[in-house]
Amino acid sequence: MKVKVGINGYGTIGKRVAYAVTKQDDMELIGVTKTKPDFEAYRAKELGIPVYAASNDFLPRFEKANFEVAGTLEDLLNEIDIIIDTTPGGMGEKNKTLYENVGVKAIFQGGEKANVAETSFVAQANYENAIRKNYVRVVSCNTTGLTRTLNAIKEYIEYVYAVMIRRAADPNDIKRGPINAIKPSVEVPSHHGPDVQTVIPINIETTAFVVPTTIMHVHSVMVELKKPLTKEDVIDIFENTTRVLLFEKKKGFDSTAQLIEFARDLHREWNNLYEIAVWKESINIKGNRLFYIQAVHQESDVVPENVDAIRAMFEMADKWESIKKTNKSLGILK
């Protein structure tokens, strides 16, 4: 029997998770919600995805445009086993009561606080914690990126300090900026360090800056080691870590632009780069400190995590069975 999945919030993350769900042979996409009949709603319909109004309040917009919806969010909730809440940050917490009332499981995203769910989640780090849970939070894109690489070396970590260089807006977002400034998060540590700790118990602090780019985030990571590691060890560990890829500057990967071009060359849908990209030459050891630099495709790295969280919550597969299945279905390279 396939798990019936609904998506509330068909935006940057929601449309990608919806696509990923359609690629799974043990899941069925029942429908998605929209607040308005824009081109994304029409495209969903063309793809055969039932579109529901995000609430009764939005129905007049669809009626006015003669866009026939399959119902409202309440109707969708009655047809599914699990809802993926990909509404804007903070909205998921408000929606949770609706989900509780109907008794459907729910996955929230990184824009929500950790206490919205029973556990925060990054598949390769703590898949087991989501087994049979009703409410799970897939952590933010940056937190997912940090967790993937740090989890691989966690037994060596004494302390981590990482600087997050965050993209200002997603490519389709015309409202956010800055377009000519660097904006520090004056909250120190930024939310990323404490959020990593909701998944793996390591000593980590982070600071964050928003810069005028749309395509990827970049992290500069410094790890104080509690036991020795060589550069070659770290390369070997990352080469053997799922959803992490090493890229070499000497092969032309000079910036985030070439990483996205690589995803385009793979003919990835929406140029998704689900894997965290670590620059091989940036991996260096100085005394007891390890340094590396990585990039995160914010629109897609959390997508496979949502798929694995569904499998964990219904105990449909063990950790590596699920990760391998998800990777294969999305063309994730390793």
Ligand X SMILES: NC(=O)C1=CN([C@@H]2O[C@H](COP(=O)(O)OP(=O)(O)OC[C@H]3O[C@@H](n4cnc5c(N)ncnc54)[C@H](OP(=O)(O)O)[C@@H]3O)[C@@H](O)[C@H]2O)C=CC1
Flag whether 264 is marked binding.
no
151 touches ligand X15 (CB under 6 A): no
Across the chain, which distance is largest between two alpha carbons, in Å? 67
Q: Which residue, 24 or 87, is less far from ligand X15 as judged by CB?
A: 87
Nearest 5°: CA angle at 229, between 225 and 230?
A: 135
The neighbouring-strand residues paired with 248 are none
Q: Which residue, 35 or 255, is less far from ligand X as judged by CB?
A: 35
d(CA 154, CA 167): 27
| Nearest-approach distance from CB 57 to ligand X, in angstroms | 8
Give, as ranges, the residues between 99 and 118 that touch ligand X15 (CB under 6 A): 110-111
Q: Which residue, 158 or 173, is less far from ligand X15 as judged by CB?
A: 173
Q: Which residue, 86 or 283, is less far from ligand X as judged by CB?
A: 86
Three-class HEC string of the chain: CCEEEEEECCCHHHHHHHHHHHCCCCEEEEEEEECCCCHHHHHHHHCCCCEEECCHHHHHHHHHCCCCCCCEHHHHHHHCCEEEECCCCCHHHHHHHHHHHHCCEEEECCCCCHHHCCEEECHHHHHHHHCCCCEEEECCHHHHHHHHHHHHCHHHEEEEEEEEEEECCCCCCCCCCCCCCCEECCCCCCCHHHHHHCCCCCCEEEEEEEECCCCCEEEEEEEEECCCCCHHHHHHHHHCCCCEEEECHHHCCCCHHHHHHHHHHCCCHHHCCCCEEEEHHHCEEECCEEEEEEEECCCCCCHHHHHHHHHHHCCCCCHHHHHHHHHHHHCCCC
Flag whether 12 is marked binding.
yes
**Of 44, 141, 215, 302, which residue is the catalytic one?**
141
Identify the residue among 60, 65, 68, 88 touching ligand X (CB under 6 A): 88
Count of residues that bind ligand X15 according to CB under 6 A: 10
298 touches ligand X15 (CB under 6 A): yes
141 touches ligand X15 (CB under 6 A): yes
Give, as ranges, the residues between 134 and 153 that touch ligand X (CB under 6 A): 140-141
13 touches ligand X (CB under 6 A): yes
170 touches ligand X (CB under 6 A): yes
Flag whether 289 is marked binding.
no
Pick from ligand X, ligand X15, none: which does 87 bind, CB < 5 to 8 A by kind? ligand X
Pick from ligand X15, ligand X, none: which does 143 bind, CB < 5 to 8 A by kind? ligand X15
Q: Which residue, 166 or 280, is less far from ligand X as judged by CB?
A: 166
Count of residues that bind ligand X according to CB under 6 A: 28
Residue 141 a catalytic site member = yes
Catalytic residues: 141
Residue positions in the annotated binding site? 12-13, 111, 140-142, 167, 192-193, 298
Residue positions in the annotated binding site for NAD(+)? 12-13, 111, 167, 298
Residue positions in the annotated binding site for D-glyceraldehyde 3-phosphate? 140-142, 192-193
Residues in contact with ligand X15 by the rule CB under 6 A: 89, 110-111, 140-143, 166, 192, 298
